[in-house]
Amino acid sequence: MTHHHDLRESGLRLTGPRMKILHLFEHSTQRHFSADDVYKNLLDAQEEIGIATVYRVLTQFEQAGILIRHHFEGERALYELNRGEHHDHMFCTVCGSVSEFFDSSLELLQEKIAKKHSFKLEDHVLYLYGVCAACQSASLN
Ligand SMILES: [Zn+2]
Ligand SMILES: [Zn+2]
């Protein structure tokens, strides 16, 4: 389900750094990147884009709705492509891995709670903090 973003539609000019950063988000198996991750991935691909430019492009993409910015506790900001589909996140406090989940009963429950409080729900952000399966088994050995 690749949803290709059109830079021109967002009003941003097609510059080399913008195209390369967007390409990275659209064609990588990794979904959540810090600015450092983006910088290092581009370096590995022989693309020399300065860290200041990476930060600037990520901010522009966030403002244009192309990327979603997450701020997990004690972590740098992580960015992911806005695929127009909602999901929530689990964050491992040991290794920093991020995994995604979606639970329709949980979504429904939030709507019910909001309704009960006459609250017009527009959005929510849910982060679960804990220890991922890999880190749990590593600590047993
Ligand atoms: Zn972990
Ligand atoms: Zn995500």
Tell me how far the alpha carbon of residue 26 lies from the centroid of ligand 1, in angstroms. Answer: 25
Average pLDDT, stretch 1-24? 79
Q: Which ligand is nearest to the CA of 86?
A: 2
User: Is the Cβ–Cβ distance between 54 and 39 less than 8 Å?
Assistant: yes
Tell me how far the alpha carbon of residue 18 lies from the centroid of ligand 1, in angstroms. Answer: 31
Model-level pTM?
A: 0.84
For residue 68, the SS3 value is strand
Q: Which residues surround ligand 2, an ion (CB under 5 A)?
A: 80, 100
Which of 4-8, 18-22, 91-95 shows the lowest mean pLDDT across its residues?
Answer: 4-8
Tell me how far the alpha carbon of residue 48 lies from the centroid of ligand 2, in angstroms. Answer: 27
The amino acid present at 37, given as its one-letter code, is D
Q: Is the pLDDT of residue 1 over 60?
A: no
Show Cβ contacts of residue 17 under 8 Å, excluding neighbours closer than 6 positions.
Answer: 49, 53, 54, 57
> CA-CA distance, 40 to 13, in Å (whole number)?
24
Q: Is the pLDDT of residue 2 over 50?
A: no
Per-residue model confidence as pLDDT tens digits over 44-81 = 999 889 999 999 999 999 999 999 999 988 878 999 99
Per-residue model confidence as pLDDT tens digits over 107-132 = 999 999 999 999 999 999 999 999 99
Nearest to 86 by CA among 54, 122, 116, 62: 122
> CA-CA distance, 6 to 112, in Å (whole number)?
36
